[in-house]
Structure 1
Amino acid sequence: MKKQLVAGALALAMLAGTVAAAGCASTAPTSDARPDVPAGAPPLMPANHDGRFESLGAPGCYGCHGASERSNPMLNGTVALPEDHYVDGSSQTLELDPTHEQCNTCHVQS
């Protein structure tokens, strides 16, 4: 009897895992919040960035997406700034190019 309970619990756990994996696999990745954004345009900032540029400016963007002596980008899991956003076109300078300090000009909020 005990073996049957253990086998039944194991089968139930395997079934639950299969259902969970199937649910994740059916979710299609989203490429952008707005399909009207032309190909090659800078990506939109997610909705949870509302007001961040207005309150923090470019240093606020650089604080997560920029390079430091320890990592590029500084915050794990964020998208790194492209090389052309840095002085001399290199993240090794660790300095944002002044022509790219108006992040919300190209990267509008969705």
Structure 2
Amino acid sequence: MRRHLVAGALVVAMAFGALAAAGCSGAAPAEDVNANVPAGAPPLMPATHQDRFETLGASGCYGCHGASERSNPMLNGSKAMPEDHYVDGSSQTLELDPTHDQCNTCHVQG
């Protein structure tokens, strides 16, 4: 009897898992907030970045989008900062240029 209950519970759990996965696969893709940004304009921050600059400052932005000795950008899949955002115009300095430490001045919330 106990085996049947465990097997039944497993079947129910698998069915709910399959339904959950099916529901997620039909989700609409995230909107590209930069689709209508004019050429040469700084990209907008996506909604997922809400209040990040206010909380973490430029070092929070650099932690994902900046360069390190191992990679550029540090977070796989994020957009790398342009070279002109670094001291001496080179990401090899691994140091953010002070004139670019107010990220949300140009990169507003999208």
Same fold (TM > 0.5): yes
For 1:99, give the aligned amino acid.
Answer: T
Shift of residue 40, structure 1, vs aligned partner:
1.7
CA distance in 2, matches of 1:55, 1:71: 24
Q: Where in structure 1 are there 5+ consecutive unaligned residues?
A: 1-26
Shift of residue 34, structure 1, vs aligned partner:
6.9
Q: Where in structure 2 are there 5+ consecutive unaligned residues?
A: 1-27
1:76 is aligned to 2:76: yes
Counterpart residue number, 2:107? 107
Q: Which structure 1 residue ranges, 4+ long, deviate > 2 Å from structure 2?
A: 29-35
Shift of residue 73, structure 1, vs aligned partner:
0.2
CA distance in 2, matches of 1:105, 1:96: 15
Q: How many residues are aligned here? A: 84
Q: What is the percent sequence identity of the aligned residues?
A: 78
Counterpart residue number, 2:57? 57
Change (3 A) 1:39 1:30: farther
Change (3 A) 1:33 1:97: closer
Root-mean-square deviation over aligned CA pairs:
2.3
The C-alpha deviation readout for 1:49-79, integer Å capped at 9, x for no partner, is 0000000000000000000000000000000
Change (3 A) 1:81 1:33: closer
The two structures have a TM-score, normalised by structure 1, of 0.68
The two structures have a TM-score, normalised by structure 2, of 0.68
CA distance in 1, matches of 2:66, 2:82: 9
Shift of residue 32, structure 1, vs aligned partner:
3.4
CA distance in 1, matches of 2:75, 2:89: 21
Change (3 A) 1:48 1:59: same
Counterpart residue number, 1:3? none
Change (3 A) 1:88 1:33: closer
